[in-house]
């Protein structure tokens, strides 16, 4: 049994695609066939330079050119109007003569018959007929068991009013062929693995992501954990998260304890560990609203602005090599101010797009200085503000989205009309070349409309992109904020929003986007809402049955800390401040020059800003880092520093257990457990004499230095969990 | 996690294992057996280790190993071919030292792929898989390291199994394997006078006993904290980056392998006092000391413009460009390995992610071209002095015997004793073949 949702056409008759139409239209019937058999793919004749002498437009985006290539090039030998079977087109495709691409279909196939009919009737191209709608069915389906298949269909409506079942000519491309295979000559999709899968359906320029899913485990009778969720009691976020966990039969882990929650909130919102005294007060605070109060307090603090400006600096790839240290500093300081005052994020974006003046003084100007030219700016503006990878559309229309080359070069044309030195100002008359036409590209708002004239189009682009009705800006921002707090975007990767990369929780993303807009594009209410959800507050320990969950927030994702955060936590825990290069900064979160020389930040894995860092790398724990922790100064020097926390504790705390406990609070933000205490006691009793005394102060120092080292290099310390 | 090799081993493999044991061969050989040696063949595997010279950016096949002197000038390019010590094989005139040892080298001239973007193409060449939206595949050396790490902890080598000299291509990562299989990266330029590998030396006062204690304490903290850290470590126990670091630090012998100062000046000069030369020398030292897989990355082969200068002179009026440096370092490496009796047990591969466009562009460069390109293999039991496959008259496509990156990677696995059919597992328990789409290039094994 399959539960289907979305799409309307369950009553579609799927048998008429075997018929051969009397008239075959080139644009809407031949071109899809070429796509279906891979002829115009990027790897074959759709490559920019074609292949084997035949060049077709990628996925048939330019039928006029394709028709010319097939009927006129090569003295017209590709089609033989007197004897269709002698056409190169058919002989190559059936490999009855040598074909680098091998056999695409055989002479008995429907594709052959269609092409033969088209050639027999003159291999004409009328032009003009377009596809107006394609309904793919189903859009989303939940199956009970791996190994089950589902029937699919695609029904197209054309501009002349005719309708056609195009299932057979639709490309059903599985993201992961080992998980979903296309079977029975395009009529069925079979799902082989549990979990969620995506198949991209393509007919002409219409693409759609089909979602297929199998729950993570079989339904167990009388299992209360998968019963209907108590949605009334849940907040907006948990309503959708829990709903999906139930549908996929993934159990949720329990709540994180107070210590884990506080550590997490501090790390996420302040970029540092909770100070021990505040953490201890929080732990014993009986106020049931204490989590909420903590979040509010952290959001109001300067650290939030410092830390989140750093996150955005990584996303924006603010680089002092490009902007000079003065420009980078102005930019980041400005971001700190915007975040501190919770300026609506669409206004922040608008300012970055429309600013003029000296980048050393005016922060947002530096956005326009940062990408190295109009094309780079077109790419970074769409990436940052829309979460879109427009880059593909530089050389060809985007294969998995609706972006066309004129969108790319049209947006670049907007940014071309700028003087982009230290001072940014409008510079009418400058142009970029549209590589298709070879003429100056027309300014264009991507996917929307051309802008007339030579006037600076930035404001118009800014108005469009930051409008509440814009389909991208708010979603992309919400998705990024979510990813920062939850470890993974609802759309992942966060800079690849497109119709064919569906969100893990579409309704949740829609709802959060509406909330974000309703709160006037302000970031803090959104952060607050996420941090107060059950999903945010869950333990990072997997429960049986959710160990493999990566996408559904059944347990908290464990993430490495950013280099700058780690530098601060090491300094705080050891009580020995860090210095960076020749600057007098001791707080790495406030460093605005990413090129500042610092072995510590390099070893800890700072973003090099050559490219944007949307999140710290998941594989931050390299062997080079391990070697540095073992033999380098970063930690070792701080263990013996006479002004450091350990030296002070060794002097002031005669009780070994209390000393060990203090080190736990400083590093793991929790008390030492009894079992841990017993272990350490057993360890030091091996060294102490029978009366429980250290034979020398040096022995004690070394023991606790090694214990502290073990805490500071543990993954528990090095991660946010 | 159980590694399913015992289950998969066929009877012939078991006999093979028995044979090795009876001969009393060492751990390295046992590693071969564990990794599934010889399930596809009866021939003995001689390669114990591998050096990959990765020419990052895409080296021009038409200007290195597959010249087309008969082609029109705009295709032929600026260089002439020279003969080699194998009659009938010609390579670029800028590779005289290499030409003099062609009998050691097998060229594949019919490499072909459809991926012309750096990352996609690099992923294909370095993993044997085309990039997939579903799964990131591990680089070849990570697979080697992972298989090696399945040996009992007490037998693991002090030197890392997978070392990269200078920062490697980003596609040479661990993929779905644990992060601890990533290469140990030697950053910095080994040709600089003050170069040394960072943080190998323990601090005064940190005795072996204290190192052991620190190692133990760290593990204890981890265990009591009870986090499984799945997303980070992909739930694998065993050979973490810290374990590897501890082993390296505790072995003075292993550490000394990183010390180029121990080489006589004559040897250092022979390889060339440039980054690539000294990187190759470092690779030889590491291989000699027992490292399984060393990747040397040479950047700057993405010659979209001014190809002649960059390949020959480096810059206008310069003394050595990309090709002469490669010639010096590569030839010195093969010679040095041979003199030390290591060439038969060390497979040396020279490749990049694709070739370059047959037609020179208007800026005197060549753009990306995956349609046909060349790879050179030597040592490790490969029969030298042969050319496998031809490209067509303009170097556009294979004229015969097309070889895909998957084929090449499978062949490399075979040469170093790894069965491409063996299955590994992703962290969520999904079985994945080490190599799925390739066929072994029989001439090479």
A356-367 pLDDT, tens digit per residue, is 999 999 999 999
Q: Is the CB of residue B380 less than 8 Å from the CB of residue B47?
A: yes
Name the least confident of A62-71, A216-225, B370-379, B411-420. Answer: A216-225
Q: What is the pLDDT of residues A614-661, one digit of tens each?
A: 876 655 568 889 999 999 999 999 999 999 999 999 999 999 999 999
- The helix (run of H) or strand (run of E) holding residue B15 is helix B11-23
**For position B24, what pLDDT does the model report?**
32
pTM of the model: 0.87
Number of domains in chain A: 6
pLDDT value of residue A438 = 83
The 10 Å Cβ neighbour count of residue B360 is 21
CB within 8 Å of chain B, chain A residues 155-194: 175-176, 178-179, 193
Q: Quick check: ipTM above 0.85?
A: yes
Distance from CA of A308 to the nearest CA of B (A): 23
What pLDDT sits at residue A242?
Answer: 93
Boundary (domain end) residue, out of A549, A570, A586: A549
Query: What is the percentage of chain A residues whose pLDDT exceeds 90?
Result: 68
Measured between beta carbons, which residues in chain B are less than 8 angstroms from residue A540? 227
How many Cβ atoms sit within 10 Å of the Cβ of residue A690? 6
Q: Compute how many other C-beta atoms are within 10 angstroms of the C-beta atom of residue B211.
A: 17
Let me know how many helices (H) and strands (E) chain A has, helices first.
27, 18
Cα(A218)–Cα(A145) distance, rounded to whole angstroms? 8
Q: Same structural domain for residues A114 and A167? A: no
Per-residue pLDDT averaged across A156-179, rounded? 91
In a domain, A497, yes or no: yes
Q: Nearest CA of chain B to the CA of A339: how many Å?
A: 30
- Examine the domain organization and report whether A382 and A448 are in the same domain: yes
Asked if the structure places residue A420 within a domain, the reply is yes
Nearest to A431 by CA among A449, A454, A407: A454
Three-class DSSP labels, A268-332: HHHCCCCCHHHHHHHHHCCCCCHHHHHHHHHHHCHHHHHHHHHHHHHHHCCCHHHHHHHHHHHHH
A676 CB neighbours in chain B (<8 A) are 220, 224
| More reliable by pLDDT, B10 or A166 | A166
* One domain, residues A652 and A578: no
Last residue of a domain, one of A465, A482, A515: A465
| Extents of the domains making up chain B | 51-413
* Whether the predicted pLDDT of A102 surpasses 70: yes
Q: How far is B445 from chain A (nearest CA, A)?
A: 27
A257 shares contact with chain B (CB less than 8 Å): no
Nearest CB neighbour to B184, from listed A557, A621, A623: A623
CATH, domain range B51-413: 3.40.720
Contact assignment for B244 to A550 by CB distance below 8 Å: no
Do A615 and A711 reside in the same domain of the chain?
A: no
Same domain, A458 and A482: no
What pLDDT, in 10s, does the model give residues A292-321? 999 999 999 999 999 999 999 999 999 999
CA atoms within 13 A on the CB side of B95: 30
Shortest distance, CA B152 to any CA of chain A (angstroms): 20
Considering only alpha carbons, which residue of chain A is nearest residue B234?
Answer: A548
Is residue B241 within 8 A of residue A621, CB to CB? The reply is: yes
pLDDT above 50 for A9: no
In a domain, A429, yes or no: yes
From the list A44, A628, A716, the residue facing B199 with the nearest CB is: A628
State the pLDDT at residue B269: 97
Report CB contact under 8 Å: A626, B241. Answer: yes
Compute how many other C-beta atoms are within 10 angstroms of the C-beta atom of residue A215.
19
We report the CATH number of the domain holding residue A199 as 2.60.40.1080
Output phi, psi for A132, to 5 deg.
Answer: -105, -30
Confidence of residue A229 (pLDDT cuts 50, 70, 90): low
- Residue numbers in chain B where pLDDT is lower than 50: 1-42, 228-236
Can you list the alpha helix ranges (DSSP code H) found in A487-575? 506-518, 523-531, 563-574
User: A107 lies in which domain range?
Assistant: 26-120
Q: How many residues does chain B have?
A: 445
Which of A333, A374, A343 is closest to A593 using CA atoms? A333
Provide the pLDDT for residue A12.
Answer: 36
The answer as to whether A357 is a domain residue is: yes
Q: For residue B121, what pLDDT is reported?
A: 96
pLDDT of A536? 97
Q: Quote the minimal CA–CA distance from A326 to chain B in Å.
A: 28
Q: Are A567 and A604 in contact (CB under 8 A)?
A: yes
With CB atoms and an 8 Å threshold, state whether B199 touches A560: no
Backbone angles phi, psi at B276, to 5 degrees: -65, -45
In chain B, the residue whose alpha carbon lies closest to the alpha carbon of A617 is B232
pLDDT of amino acid B43: 54
Of B211, B222, B224, the CB nearest to A675: B224
Q: Are A684 and A656 in contact (CB under 8 A)?
A: yes
Q: For chain A, positions 513-542, list CB contacts with chain B under 8 A.
A: 540-542
Q: Of A465, A481, A499, which marks where a domain is finished?
A: A465
A-B Cβ pairs (cutoff 8 Å, strict): 152
Distance separating alpha carbons of residues A445 and A430, to the nearest angstrom: 17
pLDDT averaged over chain A? Answer: 90
Q: Which residue has the tokens 């990959």?
A: B52
Judged against a pLDDT cut of 60, whether residue A6 lies above it is answered with no
A560/B179 Cβ within 8 A: no
List the single residue in B with minimal CA-CA distance to A679.
B220
Kindly list the strands in the beta sheet with A140-143, ordered across the sheet, starting from the edge strand earlier in the chain.
A2-5, A140-143, A206-214, A195-203, A171-174
pLDDT, residue A408, reads 94
Same domain for A461 and A474, yes or no, is no
Ranges assigned E (strand) in A504-630: 559-560
Q: What is the pLDDT of residue B18?
A: 30
Residues A593 and A482 in one domain: no
Q: Do A542 and B228 touch (CB under 8 A)?
A: yes
> How many Å lie between the alpha carbon of B229 and the closest alpha carbon of chain A?
6
Please report whether residue A405 resides in a domain.
yes
* d(C-alpha A17, C-alpha A33), whole Å: 12
A15 belongs to a structural domain = no
* b (16+ CB within 10 A) / e for B77-115: bebebbebebeebbbbebbebbbebbebbbbbbbbbbbb
Q: Answer whether residue A703 shows pLDDT above 60.
A: yes
* Alpha-carbon gap: A11 to the closest alpha carbon of chain B (Å): 32
Residue A502 falls inside a structural domain = yes
Structural domain contains residue A5:
no
Residue A383 shares a structural domain with residue A473: no
Q: Do A644 and A613 fall into the same domain?
A: no
* CB–CB contact A679 B220 (8 Å): yes
């Amino acid at each position: 049994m399959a539960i289907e949702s979305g799409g309307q056409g369950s009553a579609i008759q799927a048998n008429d695609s075997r018929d051969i139409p009397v008239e075959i239209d080139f644009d809407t019937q031949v071109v899809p066939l070429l796509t279906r058999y891979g002829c115009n793919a990027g790897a074959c004749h759709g490559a920019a330079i074609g292949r084997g002498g035949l060049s077709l437009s990628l996925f048939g985006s330019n039928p006029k050119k394709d028709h010319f290539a097939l009927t006129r090039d090569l003295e017209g030998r590709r089609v033989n109007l007197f004897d269709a079977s002698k056409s190169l087109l058919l002989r190559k495709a059936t490999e009855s003569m040598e074909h680098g691409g091998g056999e695409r279909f055989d002479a008995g196939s429907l594709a052959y018959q269609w092409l033969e009919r088209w050639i027999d009737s003159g291999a004409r191209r009328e032009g003009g007929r377009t596809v107006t709608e394609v309904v793919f069915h189903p859009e989303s389906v939940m199956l009970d068991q791996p190994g089950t298949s589902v029937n699919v269909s695609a029904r197209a409506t054309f501009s002349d009013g005719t309708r056609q079942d195009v299932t057979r000519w639709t490309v059903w491309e599985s993201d992961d062929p080992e998980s979903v295979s296309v079977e029975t000559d395009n009529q069925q999709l079979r799902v082989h693995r549990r979990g969620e899968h995506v198949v991209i359906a393509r007919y002409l320029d219409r693409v759609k992501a089909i979602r297929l899913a199998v729950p993570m485990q079989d339904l167990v009778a009388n299992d209360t954990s998968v019963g209907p969720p108590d949605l009334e009691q849940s907040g907006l976020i948990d309503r959708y998260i829990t709903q999906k966990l139930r549908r996929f039969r993934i159990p949720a882990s329990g709540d994180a304890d107070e210590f884990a929650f506080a550590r997490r909130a501090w790390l996420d919102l302040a970029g540092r560990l909770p100070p021990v005294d505040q953490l201890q007060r929080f732990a014993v605070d009986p106020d049931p609203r204490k989590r909420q109060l903590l979040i509010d307090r952290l959001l109001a603090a300067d650290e939030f602005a410092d830390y989140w400006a750093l996150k955005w600096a990584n996303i924006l790839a603010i680089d002092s090599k490009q902007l000079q240290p003065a420009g980078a500093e102005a930019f980041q300081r400005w971001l700190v101010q915007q975040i501190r005052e919770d300026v609506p994020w669409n206004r922040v974006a608008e300012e970055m797009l429309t600013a003029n003046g000296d980048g050393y003084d005016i922060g947002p100007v530096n956005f326009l200085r940062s990408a190295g030219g109009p094309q780079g700016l077109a790419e970074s503006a769409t990436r940052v503000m829309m979460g879109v990878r427009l880059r593909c559309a530089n050389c060809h229309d985007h294969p998995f989205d609706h972006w066309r080359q004129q969108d790319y070069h049209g947006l670049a044309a907007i940014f071309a009309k700028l003087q982009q030195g230290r001072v940014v100002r409008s510079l009418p008359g400058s142009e970029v070349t549209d590589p298709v036409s070879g003429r100056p590209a027309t300014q264009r708002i991507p996917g929307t409309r051309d802008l007339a004239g030579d006037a600076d189009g930035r404001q118009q682009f800014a108005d469009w992109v930051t409008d509440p009705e814009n389909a991208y800006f708010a979603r992309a921002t919400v998705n990024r904020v979510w990813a920062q707090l939850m470890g993974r975007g609802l759309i992942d990767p966060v800079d690849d929003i497109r119709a064919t990369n569906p969100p893990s929780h579409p309704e949740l993303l829609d709802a959060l986007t509406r909330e974000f807009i309703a709160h006037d594009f302000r970031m803090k209410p959104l952060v607050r809402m996420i941090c107060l959800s059950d999903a945010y507050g869950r333990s990072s320990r997997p429960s049986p049955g959710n160990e493999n969950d990566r996408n559904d927030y059944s347990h908290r994702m464990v993430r490495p800390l950013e280099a700058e955060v780690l530098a601060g936590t090491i300094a705080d825990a050891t009580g020995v401040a860090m210095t960076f290069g020749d600057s007098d900064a001791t707080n790495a979160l406030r460093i605005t020059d990413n090129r500042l020389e610092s072995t510590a930040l390099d070893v800890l894995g700072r973003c090099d800003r050559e490219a944007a860092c949307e999140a710290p790398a998941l594989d931050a724990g390299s062997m080079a880092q391990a070697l540095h922790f073992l033999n380098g100064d970063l930690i070792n020097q701080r263990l013996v520093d006479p002004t450091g926390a350990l030296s002070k504790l060794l002097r002031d705390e005669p009780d070994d257990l209390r000393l060990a406990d203090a080190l736990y609070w400083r590093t793991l933000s929790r008390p030492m457990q009894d079992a841990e205490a017993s272990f350490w006691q057993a360890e030091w009793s091996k060294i102490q004499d029978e009366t429980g005394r250290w034979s020398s102060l040096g022995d004690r120092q070394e023991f606790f230095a090694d214990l502290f080292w073990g805490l500071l290099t543990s993954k528990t310390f090095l991660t946010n969990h | 996690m159980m590694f399913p090799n015992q289950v998969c081993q066929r009877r012939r493999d078991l006999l093979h294992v028995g044979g090795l044991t009876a001969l009393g061969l060492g751990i390295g050989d046992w590693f071969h057996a564990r990794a599934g040696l010889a399930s596809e063949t009866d021939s003995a595997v001689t390669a114990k280790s591998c050096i990959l010279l990765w020419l990052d950016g895409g080296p021009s096949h038409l200007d290195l190993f597959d010249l087309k002197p008969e082609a029109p000038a705009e295709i032929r390019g600026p260089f002439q071919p020279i003969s080699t010590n194998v009659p009938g094989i010609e390579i670029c005139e800028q590779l005289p030292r290499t030409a003099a040892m062609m009998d050691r080298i097998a060229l594949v001239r019919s490499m072909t792929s459809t991926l012309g973007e750096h990352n996609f193409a690099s992923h294909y060449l370095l993993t044997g898989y085309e990039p997939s939206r579903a799964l990131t595949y591990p680089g070849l050396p990570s697979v080697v390291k992972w298989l090696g790490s399945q040996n009992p902890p007490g037998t693991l080598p002090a030197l890392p199994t997978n070392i990269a000299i200078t920062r490697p291509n980003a596609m040479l990562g661990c993929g779905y394997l644990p992060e601890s299989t990533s290469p140990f990266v030697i950053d910095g330029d080994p040709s600089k006078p003050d170069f040394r590998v960072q943080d190998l030396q323990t601090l005064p006062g940190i005795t072996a006993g204290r190192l052991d204690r620190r190692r133990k304490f760290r593990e204890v903290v981890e265990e009591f904290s009870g986090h499984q850290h799945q997303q980070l470590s992909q739930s694998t126990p065993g050979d973490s980056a810290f374990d590897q670091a501890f082993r390296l630090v505790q072995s003075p012998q292993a550490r000394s392998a990183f010390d180029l100062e121990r080489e006589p000046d004559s040897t250092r000069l022979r390889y060339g006092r440039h980054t690539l030369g000294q990187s190759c020398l470092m690779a030889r030292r590491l291989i000699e000391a027992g490292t399984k897989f060393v990747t040397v990355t040479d950047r700057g082969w993405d010659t979209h413009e001014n190809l002649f200068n960059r390949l020959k002179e480096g810059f206008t009026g310069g003394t050595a460009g990309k090709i002469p440096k490669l010639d010096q370092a590569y030839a010195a490496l093969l010679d040095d390995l041979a003199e030390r009796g290591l060439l038969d047990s060390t497979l040396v591969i020279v490749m990049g992610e694709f070739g370059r466009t047959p037609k020179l562009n208007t800026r005197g460069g060549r753009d990306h071209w995956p349609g046909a390109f060349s790879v050179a293999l030597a040592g490790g039991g490969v029969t030298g002095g042969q050319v496998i496959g031809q490209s067509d008259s303009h170097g556009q496509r294979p004229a015969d015997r097309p070889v895909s990156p998957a084929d090449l990677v499978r062949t490399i696995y075979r040469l170093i004793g790894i069965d491409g059919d063996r299955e590994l597992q992703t962290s969520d328990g999904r079985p994945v073949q080490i190599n799925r789409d390739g066929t072994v290039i029989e001439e090479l094994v």
